[in-house]
Amino acid sequence: MTTKPDVLIYAPWYEPAMRRLDEICTTHHVYLAQDKEAFIKEHGPKCMGIGTMHHCPPSLMDACPNLQIILNFGVGYDGVDIPAATSRGVKVVNTPDVLNDCVADMAMALVLAGRRKVTQADRYIREGNWRKLGNFEYVHHVNHSKVGILGLGRIGLEIANRCAAFKMDISYHQRNERKDVPFKFCQNLEEMAAAIDILIAILPGGENTKGLINEKIIKLLGPEGLLVNVARGTVVDNEALARCLKDGSLGAAALDVFPNEPEVPSAFLNIQDNLILTPHMASATHLTRMQMGMTLYDNLKTFLSDGSVLTPVN
């Protein structure tokens, strides 16, 4: 009987998919342990793999001296130290493509909710204001509005295609222009922000994009503008965002991501009239999370078979 390899599960993901790993390896679940440090010290040395969600520092790799592969649940891997993994000869895999449509759907849900004030209108009815005060306020249209997409990668392109269905005027900003799309490329983010009604952020996190949407960009969107963030919480100066929402220099924002999840900046929690908050759920449907989990399963199974991986990061 062949002994199954050991994998350290640092952070959990969609349980039906995570359980499938037990078919091909023995899993050790750090997040369930009362003393996590002791658990890692006990089980880390025998583990050839680490399963995680966006987090794997060098210290965790060091605790697993026989580490060969890191399974990152999600397309973003800014919390995984890729140079450290590469220098150790450790392969890192993620879950691209399978979540593109789902995240794009959520981005559009936030656009619609932000422009049409769906959550505020719901609250207006529940508080009895329709009967007491009459009809709800007029809101901004979505169709034919001007949208700027910050990051036209796989998910950004799916967002753009959905915006096109709403007959929107679509621009995008990133480091390099794409020659395979009909959308307007803006080399300067400030110029794009000044020209649009809606800014959708869908770019990687990390030091290179930290605070990219700063106070100046936010104010250029203007008192009727909408900021939607389905990227990473770090790409926005959130303190500046809170100030601009409160003083009216930005019309509204809809955020699915935050810098130190599950913590949410306290300044956001008392802003209700022009801010929508969701708990990083853009890819959180049963189908998509199962597909993401099975992408990791297939990567590990392939790696155990012949040493190759299907969705390499490094």
* SS3 letters across 57-72: CHHHHHCCCCCCEEEE
Lookup result for tokens 């679940």: 29
**Active-site entry in 43, 54, 232, 289:** 232
**Active-site entry in 88, 116, 243, 280:** 280
**Active-site entry in 261, 263, 286, 289:** 261
177 catalytic residue (yes or no):
no
Cα 276 from Cα 253, distance rounded (Å): 6
- The residues with which 26 forms a beta bridge, in sequence order, are 6
Cα 49 from Cα 300, distance rounded (Å): 9
All residues at 6 or more sequence positions from 52 whose CB lies less than 8 Å from its CB, including other chains: 9, 10, 11, 60, 70, 71, 72, 73, 80
What does DSSP assign to residue 19? H
43 catalytic residue (yes or no):
no
280 catalytic residue (yes or no):
yes
Number of residues assigned to the chain: 314
Query: In angstroms, what CA-CA distances link 45 with 3, 4, 56, 66, 109?
Result: 16, 15, 16, 6, 45
Report the amino acid identity of residue 13.
W
All residues at 6 or more sequence positions from 135 whose CB lies less than 8 Å from its CB, including other chains: none
Name the CA radius of gyration of the chain, rounded. 22
Cα 109 from Cα 111, distance rounded (Å): 5
Could you tell me where the beta strands, DSSP code E, fall in the chain?
6-9, 26-29, 47-52, 69-72, 91-93, 146-150, 169-173, 184-185, 198-201, 226-229, 252-255, 275-277
Report the amino acid identity of residue 51.
G
The catalytic site residues sit at: 232, 261, 280
